[in-house]
């Protein structure tokens, strides 16, 4: 079996599937450019993350892979996530006191983003990658400190859980 033989099926609309396919192609190209093999577990991890519409824990990734590629050991999934993160294909985010979640890195999906985590409901919201650029610049200028916000989630209360609900979530979003 080659790495090209593993496919995660999706019931998503065609444009979403096409976007996921493009993300997988970019991630696989990055692996190959870096001289890395595209093994079935690596491809499966990338495909699961590309098909997900939420941020997944390593256990979530493992369970989804097991559904399409039985027999991949959970430890292999953990090692694969770590390797893919080291190669810049996958990003991990520490969310509150919960488990670390994973997603494809910005280069694979076409845009960088940061995360905000609601302390009440646990929802993780993607926010623009440049949101903290002014803060980053100021920290470097004033303290020589280089902020790496992509690995942590900003903590607060989402629009749905906010007591004032001043910033309501547009209909259709949750």
Query: Are 23 and 95 members of one domain?
Result: yes
Report residue 14 as tokens.
């065609």
**CATH number of the domain to which 157 belongs:** 3.30.1490.190
Q: What is the pLDDT of residue 95?
A: 83
Are residues 99 and 39 located together in one domain of the fold? yes
**Two structure tokens written together for 72:** 């991949």
Do 49 and 127 share a domain, yes or no?
A: no
Which one of 19-23, 57-61, 114-118 scores highest in mean pLDDT? 57-61
> Which long-range contacts link 141-146 to residues 24+ away (Cβ below 8 Å)?
none
Tens digit of each residue's pLDDT (9 = 90 or more) over 151-164: 788 889 988 998 77
CATH of the domain at 86: 1.10.10.10
* Among candidate residues 107, 136, 152, the one where a domain is terminated: 107
Give the mean pLDDT of 49-57: 89
The verdict on 3 and 82 lying in the same domain is: yes
pTM for this model (two decimals): 0.70
Give the per-residue pLDDT at 165: 57
Is the domain of 38 the same as that of 61?
Answer: yes
Q: How confident is the model at residue 168 (pLDDT cuts 50, 70, 90)?
A: low
* Number of independent structural domains in the chain: 2
- Residue that finishes a domain, picked among 86, 107, 128: 107
Given 83, 107, 131, the domain boundary residue is 107
Q: Are 118 and 72 members of one domain? A: no
Contacts 24+ apart (CB under 8 A), 156-165: 156/116, 156/117, 156/118, 156/119, 157/118, 157/119, 157/120, 158/116, 158/118, 158/120, 158/121, 158/123, 158/125, 160/118, 160/121, 160/123, 161/118, 161/120, 161/121
Same domain, 120 and 93: no
Beta bridge partners of residue 70, listed in sequence order: none
Q: Say yes or no: 132 and 155 in one domain.
A: yes
Q: Which domain holds residue 70?
A: 1-107
Instruction: Report residue 21: phi and psi, to 5°.
Output: -60, -40
Q: Let me know whether 136 and 74 are in one domain.
A: no
Evaluate if residue 75 carries a pLDDT over 90.
Answer: yes
Q: Are residues 14 and 76 in the same domain?
A: yes
């Amino acid at each position: 079996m080659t790495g090209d033989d593993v496919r995660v099926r999706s019931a998503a609309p065609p444009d979403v599937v096409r976007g996921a396919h493009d993300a997988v192609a970019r991630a696989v190209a990055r692996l190959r450019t870096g001289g890395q093999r595209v093994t079935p577990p690596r491809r499966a991890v990338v495909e699961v993350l590309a098909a997900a519409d939420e941020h997944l824990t390593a256990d979530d990734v493992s369970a989804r892979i097991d559904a399409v590629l039985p027999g991949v050991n959970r430890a292999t999934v953990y090692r694969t996530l770590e390797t893919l993160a080291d190669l810049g294909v996958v990003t991990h985010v520490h969310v509150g006191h919960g488990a670390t979640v994973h997603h494809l890195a910005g280069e694979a999906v076409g845009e960088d983003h940061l995360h905000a985590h609601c302390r009440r409901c646990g929802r993780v919201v993607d926010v623009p990658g440049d949101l903290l650029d002014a803060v980053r610049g100021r920290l470097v200028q004033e303290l020589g400190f280089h902020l790496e916000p992509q690995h942590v989630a900003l903590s607060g209360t989402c629009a749905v859980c906010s007591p004032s609900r001043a910033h309501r979530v547009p209909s259709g979003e949750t």
